[in-house]
Structure 1
Amino acid sequence: MTPNAISAIGMPFAALAGLAFAFAPERLWLFLLGALLVQLRLLCNLFDGMVAVEGGRGGPTGVLFNEIPDRFEDSVILIGFGYGAGLPELGFVAAILAVFTAYLRAMGASLGQGQDFAGPMAKPQRMAAVTIGAVLALLEALVFGSLWSPIIVLWVVALGAAWTAAARISRMAARLKAGS
């Protein structure tokens, strides 16, 4: 299997995770399914890089297949989680900020500054937060009959992504000033 095919396989996992989260308040087990699908999405992201780099099978379009699915996947997962939390607007805000952090990483690279993966809320942290939030949502709903944890997780992701964006902008500006 090619790295690009592995990257593409992550997209249906993410789309199904977003759908599972969106409908989870009606069928609580979907929170757990969504968490599992997020992890399968991340495995695809891990394996595509391993096959491309360590397997020596990367191609000229690899960078596109590495980045484009990630933006789609982040967005559908966070938007679906927003619907599951009962605050779709917050899911959209978190998704926009997630894409913005990736844009800033790419912008820094285009300026010759390399890829800045630092954050407090880069992709691995966002997906970990959503996975943990989904498991907590299931437990919270079963034990207490409420769903505050997905709302809290979305706020953490949104604020953390905004912080990540601000930090990346600050580092880019400092490097630009030092270079001029």
Structure 2
Amino acid sequence: MDENRRPIKTRSAGWARYITNRLVKRDLSPNQISVASIAFAFVGIAALNIDNGIAGSLLCAIGIQLRLLCNLFDGMVAIEGGKKSDIGSLYNEFPDRIADSLLLVGLGYAIGWPDLGWCAALFAALTAYVRVFGGSIGLPQSFIGPMAKQHRMAVMTVGLLLNAVEASVYASHYVLLMALIIITLGSAATCVTRTLAIARQLKGAAHVDQ
């Protein structure tokens, strides 16, 4: 397995392989699927900013899950489907960063905390920067948390589902604020854990060379 590929157990599921085969037969490229993840993120967060109640929360949660499915299938179509391209690595990273930023910044605006949304997006991007930096110096890319991409999206999805209840009963959005705070602090912590992991690997390599 590619050491720089995010480990996802779902890849081995029968339904995932079935959908992958269907996508390959429809001649969809991994890059097209990657770009579609941005569209799903945009539609979801736009819905939340139009209506931060029940409908918007549910639509945004669905948008997040569709975005994650795109992240799953672009890699499967590329690797398992044999459709890797010369610029696939570019499409594998850039749409993720755009989708993350759209969702986190948009969440901040939807609940009246835009500065916190921008801060969350910054730390989310930095987690990816640290990971890719490790790969750029010859180390296996580290996908550890505590707030990797799948964790950020899980926290936001749960927050949206709970917000659908909170908004309808109390007309407030404290659970989404808490979700955004957790994502921000957790992403900052992830930057630290990944940086420390890189430092340990570098020190270990230095000791081996001595």
Larger radius of gyration: 2
Alignment of 1:8-87 (within 5 A): 8-25=35-52, 27-87=53-113
Pairing 1:112–2:120 present: no
CA distance in 1 between counterparts of 2:77 and 2:171 reads 44
Pairing 1:169–2:169 present: no
How high is the sequence identity, in percent, across the aligned residues?
45
Match of 2:168 in 1: 142
Residue 13 of structure 1 aligns with an amino acid whose one-letter code is F
Equivalences, count: 179
By how many angstroms is 1:173 displaced?
1.3
CA distance in 2 between counterparts of 1:106 and 1:20 reads 32
By how many angstroms is 1:174 displaced?
1.7
By how many angstroms is 1:20 displaced?
1.9
Contact 2:54 2:165 survives alignment (8 Å): no
Contact 2:47 2:59 survives alignment (8 Å): yes
Runs of 4 or more above 6 Å deviation? none
Q: What is the SS of the residue equivalent to 2:122? A: helix
Residue 121 of structure 2 aligns with an amino acid whose one-letter code is A
CA RMSD, 1 decimal: 1.1
CA distance in 1 between counterparts of 2:93 and 2:186 reads 21
Larger mean CA deviation between 157-166 and 143-152 belongs to: 143-152
Residue 65 of structure 1 aligns with an amino acid whose one-letter code is Y
Match of 2:118 in 1: 92
By how many angstroms is 1:65 displaced?
0.7
**Structure 1 unmatched ranges of 5 or more:** none
**Of 11, 19, 32, the match for 1:5:** 32
CA distance in 1 between counterparts of 2:45 and 2:199 reads 35
CA distance in 1 between counterparts of 2:86 and 2:118 reads 32
Match of 2:4 in 1: none
Contact 2:123 2:187 survives alignment (8 Å): yes
TM-score, structure 2 length as denominator?
0.82
Residue 60 of structure 2 aligns with an amino acid whose one-letter code is G
CA offsets, 1:127-160, max 9 Å, x none? 1111111111111111222210000000000000
Match of 1:128 in 2: 154
CA offsets, 1:10-64, max 9 Å, x none? 1111111222222333x54111101101111111111111101111111111111
CA distance in 1 between counterparts of 2:119 and 2:61 reads 20
Residue 7 of structure 1 aligns with an amino acid whose one-letter code is S
